[in-house]
Amino acid sequence: MRGLLAAGAAVAVVLSSGAAANAATAAAAYPRYKAPKPFGTTFQTDPKHDFTKHIHSRHNGILRGWITYVHGGVAEYQPIKWRKGTQTEGYFVGQPEGDAMAYSSPVAKDVVFLSAYGCKTALSGMTVSRKTGLGAKRCSRTVLIKRYGSQRRPALITVYKGRIVKVQEIWTP
């Protein structure tokens, strides 16, 4: 009986370390980029991007933005900025109506999605780093696609080689 328990514990350790290694490999598969301020008050630009051509991927880096549409594993997203409020702390706003600053990229199969609100529902509980105000709970690609297919949530969106490789939600009150 002790032998079975010890073997089961060893398998659990191997499996959990394998999952941790896979997560570390996915995160290490792209360079570290300097993240913008989560509550920055200006829109981030992509000077090399030509918005006169069809909608396509942003260049490598991290964008403070929100995903506006998801279809077939491809997400459309746009930059956002924080607007300070008079009655409240403030809120995020997108580009003005008619502005064509938008991007489209496939969501990587091994995307890292760090939720600020849990994995079960968009409001299942706060899972945020108190230090940064950014999501800390890792959720699946399926949760990411379902959540962002139905609502706009502010996030730091990391793009590498034309694919979205990381989405980290920004917690807003």
pLDDT tens column, 27-46: 557 789 999 999 999 998 87
Cβ neighbourhood burial of 128 (10 Å; 0-12, 13-18, 19+): buried
Has residue 93 been placed in a domain?
yes
β-partners of residue 90 are: 84
Render pLDDT for 64-115 as a digit per residue (tens, 0 to 9): 999 999 998 999 999 999 999 877 889 999 988 877 788 899 999 999 999 9
Q: Is residue 18 part of a domain?
A: no
Q: Cβ(42)–Cβ(131) under 8 Å?
A: no
* Domain assignment present for 36: no
More confident residue, 8 or 43: 43
How far CA 138 is from CA of 6, 39, 47, 128, 132, in Å, comes to 29, 22, 32, 11, 16
Is residue 75 included in any domain, yes or no?
Answer: yes
User: Residue 76's beta-bridge partner residues?
Assistant: 69, 104
Q: Quick one: which H or E segment has residue 118?
A: none
pLDDT of residue 29: 75
Please state the domain count of the chain.
Answer: 1
Q: Is 116 left (phi over 0), alpha (psi -120 to 50) or beta?
A: alpha
Q: Give the integer Cα–Cα distance in Å for 169 and 156.
A: 6
List the domain range (segments joined by +) for residue 66. Answer: 61-169
Q: Is 114 a domain residue?
A: yes
Residue 94 lies in a domain: yes
* DSSP helix/strand/coil, 15: helix
Residue 37 belongs to some domain of the structure: no
Specify if 41 maps to a domain: no
Q: Which residues does residue 167 pair with via DSSP β-bridges, in sequence order?
A: 113, 157
Report the largest interatomic distance among the alpha carbons of the chain, rounded to a whole angstrom. Answer: 69
